[in-house]
Amino acid sequence: MERPSIDPSLEYALRRVEENIAEACARAGRDRDDVRLLAVTKTVDADRVNQVIALGVKQIGENRVQEFLGKKDALDLANVRAHLIGHLQTNKVRQIVGQVDMIESVDSERLAQAISRVSVERGIVTPILVEVNIGGEEAKSGVAPDQLEGLLEKIHDLPGIKVRGMMTVPPILTKESKKRAIFSKMYQLFVDNRAKKLDNIDMLELSMGMSGDYVEAILEGSTIVRVGSAIFGARQY
């Protein structure tokens, strides 16, 4: 694909985010390579997505199956991994399996089974993360922390999926100490479940942190930060 012409303000915003990630890693005594930036591209047009890819972004995240499939052909994804990060309905599973490199938002046995079934049919194994509702908010998707272990036990040996870790969208908090406390709780859950070493589960990835809190998330052990508006600007719906 042709190299897109780069909007300098987009480049500036991306560099700022990358600097903040590097600083947070240094502050936490973590290796910079332990944390991956996933640029969240929902509502962003393909040309701007291709600009951040040209600037070196290696992972993108989309929320909606329809939106992603609608722009996928226009994206330069040759060296880029795409993750589905939004709530997935079982009736969309057929459309998305095989189209993304990871599904981060698996929060029920039924959904895991559907993804596994379609993946087996297509001869692939789909990497997934289990989404946890760490803040216990009613309107949010994700499995409750006390249901996580039960869900992992039910899905870990499904043949068409591979559990690679956990993801969360925590409540929006303003105080740094509160943000860190909730990420720390999530990290503890991650470590506890990693220690159980269930077959077919590689607890490698902890996807947490968005534009308003990715620094705190890195300080508390995140391995994937999902950053949208801090790179692309406020979303216009």
Ligand X SMILES: *Cc1c(COP(=O)(O)O)cnc(C)c1O
**Distance (Å, rounded) from C-alpha 168 to C-alpha 185?**
11
Closest distance between ligand X and the C-beta of residue 94, in Å?
A: 22
Residues 6+ apart with CB under 8 A from 124: 97, 98, 160
> Is residue 141 part of the contact set for ligand X (CB under 6 A)?
no
- Interface residue with ligand X among 85, 161, 206, 218 (CB under 6 A) is 85
Interacting span for ligand X (CB under 6 A) from 9-17, 139-147, 186-194, 220-228: 220-228
Interacting span for ligand X (CB under 6 A) from 23-31, 107-115, 133-141, 223-231: 223-231
> Is residue 102 part of the contact set for ligand X (CB under 6 A)?
no
> Is residue 226 part of the contact set for ligand X (CB under 6 A)?
yes
Angle between helices 8-28 and 46-54 (to 10 degrees): 50
Closest distance between ligand X and the C-beta of residue 162, in Å?
A: 21
Could you give the string, one character per residue 22-61, with x where binding to ligand X holds by CB under 6 A and - elsewhere? ------------------x-x-------------------
HSE of 51 in the Cβ direction (CA atoms, 13 Å)? 19
If the CB atoms of residues 98 and 212 are measured against ligand X, the closer one turns out to be: 212
Q: Which of 6, 28, 5, 25 is nearest to 17 (CA)?
A: 25
> Is residue 229 part of the contact set for ligand X (CB under 6 A)?
yes
- Interface residue with ligand X among 63, 110, 172, 204 (CB under 6 A) is 63
Could you give the string, one character per residue 147-186, with x where binding to ligand X holds by CB under 6 A and - elsewhere? ----------------------x-----------------
Task: Provide the binding-site residues for ligand X, judged by CB under 6 A.
Answer: 40, 42, 63, 85-86, 169, 210-212, 226-230
